[in-house]
Each structure stands twice: as structure tokens, then as C-alpha cells.
Amino acid sequence: MSDVVGPDKVGWVLIRDRRLLVGRNEGRSAFYLPGGGRDEGETDVETLVREIDEELSVAIDPTTARHVATVIARRDESEHDIVYIAYTAEHEGEPVPSAEVEELAWVSTADGAAVTDAERRLMAILRDRDLID
């Protein structure tokens, strides 16, 4: 039985041309949704706004944030699970790698080997809703 540690991560779902935006941190091989863990006292949306600004230099409009899905998935390179909460939101600016993010990519379900377990589970949900390929 695995441990659930979380809710641990809030992620941003940005889809263009039926592909999902993901990022990769320096020194890591797997891609993940932009976002991160909440600071003490933060709501999901406050976390989303702060993390996306830090990681992608993009301004999220908090009034447009909408919950997409919550998945429980294996934490990358760990024996523990995390709770992963994903949101869509309108934004200003074009995403560029910032802070610890080294690279961005647009992926479909065919790229499942390049992303973490949480992203694979989320991508399956998005594919079932006919939002990504």
C-alpha cells in the first residue's frame, strides 16, 4: 500500500492544437505540468498564479481558473503517491522557461513515456474528453 502525501501539487493545463504544455526541470528527464506545491495558507488558485509566474513568466487570471481533474499518481522517482490537482486558466504572456524549468514541450498521449505518471493519468482524462490527441 502506498502513502498519499498531499494534496501536493497544483498544475496548469494549457492546450494548444490538441497538445498539452509540459516542462522539464534542470537535471530531470521527465516532463510535468507547470505548477507546484502550495505555500502555507495558499489556496489552489493562489498556488497556481504564483507557480506559473515563477516557472513560465505568465500572468494567470485567477478569476478564470477552472478545476479540470484531480488524480492520485506515483510521485516521480519515489515509492509514494501524490494528489495532483489540475486547473485551466486564461493568461497573459507567452510561456517561457524560467526559474528551475529548463525546457518546455507540447505533448500528446503518444508522448506518454516522456512525462510522469501524474501527467499520463491526466492526459488519459483529457483524451477521453476529446481535448488532446
Output DSSP code: residue 32. Answer: B
Candidates 83, 80, 94; CA nearest to 37 is 83
Q: pLDDT truncated to tens, each residue of the chain (133 aa)? A: 345 455 589 999 999 999 999 999 988 899 999 999 989 999 999 999 999 999 999 999 999 999 999 999 877 666 778 898 999 999 999 999 998 899 999 999 999 999 998 899 999 999 999 999 9
Burial of 6 (0-12, 13-18, 19+ CB in 10 A): middle
Residue 75 bridge partners (DSSP): none
pLDDT score recorded for residue 104: 97
Q: Which three cell numbers stand for residue 32?
A: 510535468
The domain ranges of the chain are 4-128
CATH superfamily of 4-128: Nucleoside Triphosphate Pyrophosphohydrolase (3.90.79.10)
- Check: CB of residue 106 under 8 Å from CB of residue 95: no
pLDDT score recorded for residue 89: 98
Output DSSP code: residue 57. Answer: -
Candidates 33, 22, 49; CA nearest to 104 is 22
pLDDT score recorded for residue 4: 47
pLDDT score recorded for residue 82: 84
pLDDT score recorded for residue 2: 47
Cell 506559473 -> residue: 52
> Edge to edge, what strands does the sheet with 66-74 contain?
35-36, 4-12, 81-88, 66-74
